[in-house]
């Protein structure tokens, strides 16, 4: 479920970025300025938005990395617990079978 939410966040982020770039470009292109100033403003806006996007991408990447590390730790702990439980169950079963075998051997000795 969390994966779906993150996917939606990425789509929203991409939509906002595209909308911001489009709006800035249209605003600059239709503003009364000469060509050089327009290109400079457009370039400056694109550079700013690119920088902001890279920062947001770095934050999201770090967030995903943190969640992955927590998931790895959780999985390792669960695997260790399961391994311990399997060992204990196996040990108990071996003791039980050994006891049964010993009882059967004692019964056989008595019957001989």
Is 74 a member of any domain?
yes
- Look up the domain containing 40 and give its range: 2-84
Asked, for residue 45, whether it belongs to a domain, the answer is yes
* C-alpha–C-alpha distance, residues 89 and 93, integer Å: 6
Asked, for residue 93, whether it belongs to a domain, the answer is: no
Q: Is residue 53 part of a domain?
A: yes
Domain count, the chain: 1
Residue 91 lies in a domain: no
Give all strands (DSSP E) within the chain, no chain letters: none
Q: 35 or 1: whose pLDDT is higher?
A: 35
pTM: 0.50
Please indicate, yes or no, if residue 96 is contained in any of the structural domains.
Answer: no
Q: What is the pLDDT of residues 93-107, one digit of tens each?
A: 999 998 889 888 888
pLDDT digit string, tens, across residues 34-75:
777 777 877 888 888 889 888 988 999 999 999 999 999 999
- DSSP 8-state class, residue 32: S
Q: Report if residue 112 sits inside a domain.
A: no
Query: Contact 38/31 with Cβ under 8 angstroms?
Result: yes
């Amino acid at each position: 479920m969390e994966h779906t939410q993150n996917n939606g966040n990425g789509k929203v982020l991409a939509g906002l970025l595209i909308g911001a770039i489009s709006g800035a470009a249209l605003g600059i292109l239709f503003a009364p300025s000469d060509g050089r100033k327009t290109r400079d403003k457009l370039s400056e806006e694109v550079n700013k938005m690119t920088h902001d996007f890279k920062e947001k991408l770095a934050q999201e990447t770090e967030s995903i990395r943190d969640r992955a590390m927590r998931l790895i730790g959780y999985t390792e702990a669960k695997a260790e617990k399961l391994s311990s439980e399997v060992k204990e169950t196996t040990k108990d079963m071996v003791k039980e079978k050994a006891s049964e075998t010993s009882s059967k051997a004692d019964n056989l000795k008595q019957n001989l």
